[in-house]
Amino acid sequence: MRKNTIGSILRLGLAIASLGVALLPMAAAAEDSSSEVGVEITPFAGFRFGGMFEDINTGTNITLDESESYGLVLDFDIERDKQIEIYLSRQSTTLSADGAFTGNPLFDLAVEYYHIGGLYLFEVESERLRPFVSGTLGAARMDPQRDDLSTETFFSLAIGGGAKFFFTENLGLRFDGRGIYTALSSSSAIFCAGGCTIKVHTSGFIQGELGAGMILRF
């Protein structure tokens, strides 16, 4: 488990560095056109729920247990009401097969999202409060916490909304919720290593996430 956690931290760091480099030209262009541009870094903690698909081999529904999540959101100003958003998050959960009265745990699973997209801020009477909507897309990485099973990566996208409240020019709180869709290839086998644990019969699954974090603006 320690090796998987260290690996996840390294992947998050690499994703932040790579996306930061990719956004440098846009940030430079924004700086030339406005004196109010900035960068917001928001570590967050949340609660993620939902996620279900069918296993053809057994005819049972496979679910992702609800659990805590955590991650990082980076927002880069483009205009006063528009930002580029990077969303990185991880959830440690358990994959379970639905039984008659309770779920049957199969194995622990880490679900990570690596997204980039945009955020639109609404103007309201209070300058401290900024409601917003967001949309991002990227990759979902599903990592079984077992050495004999393979890691899977799929396309995913998310839409969400919430609000930012600033105590000062550089410090605030962010509250938001998002729905995340992960696309799976219908009738494909996943988590294979010598043999395949689950054969999917679905086009994807949806998770919801509620989160809150501290905004540091530079």
Q: Tell me the range of 20-24, 56-60, 181-185, 192-196 where mean pLDDT is highest.
A: 181-185
Which uninterrupted H or E stretch holds 130?
strand 129-144
Tell me the mean pLDDT in the region 187-196.
61
Q: How far is CA 198 from each of CA 16, 44, 58, 95, 195, rounded to the nearest angstrom?
A: 32, 32, 9, 11, 9
Tell how many helices (H) and how many strands (E) occur in the chain: 1, 12
Give the tens place of pLDDT for each residue, 103-132.
Answer: 688 889 999 999 999 999 999 988 899 999
- Looking up tokens 């700086």 gives 31
Q: Where are the domains of the chain?
A: 2-217
Q: Which of 29-33, 35-39, 200-204, 208-212 has the lowest mean pLDDT?
A: 29-33
> What is the radius of gyration, based on Cα positions, of the chain?
19
**How would you label 11-32 residue by residue, b for 16+ Cβ within 10 Å and e otherwise?**
bbeebbeebeeebeeebeebee
- Are the C-beta atoms of 134 and 176 separated by less than 8 Å? yes
Name 39's bridge partners: 76
| Confidence band for 168, pLDDT divided at 50, 70 and 90 | very high
**Which CATH topology does 2-217 take?**
Porin (2.40.160)
Question: How do 195-199 and 52-55 pair as beta strands?
Answer: unpaired
